């Protein structure tokens, strides 16, 4: 299965979310959906 986001990108996205930035603006800045970011957080990647 091909990964769309590299590990470094996921870490960068989650660090921005952890810094209390709104998920909507982080998703828009990285071209990801809010659902994708919530999947990352639910997988325990935070």
Give tens-digit pLDDT for 2-45. Answer: 778 898 999 999 999 999 999 999 999 999 999 999 988 888 66
Instruction: Give the contacts of 38 (CB within 8 A, at least 6 positions apart).
Output: 23
- CB proximity list for 15: less than 8 A, separation 6 or greater: none
pLDDT at residue 8, as a whole number: 92
Q: What's the confidence (pLDDT) of residue 4? A: 87
pLDDT of residue 41: 86
Give 15 or 46, the one with higher predicted confidence: 15
Check residue 19 and give its pLDDT: 93
């Amino acid at each position: 299965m091909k990964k769309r986001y590299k590990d470094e990108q996921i870490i960068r996205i989650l660090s921005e979310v952890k810094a209390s930035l709104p998920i909507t603006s982080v998703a828009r800045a990285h071209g990801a959906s809010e659902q994708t970011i919530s999947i990352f957080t639910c997988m325990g990647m935070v």
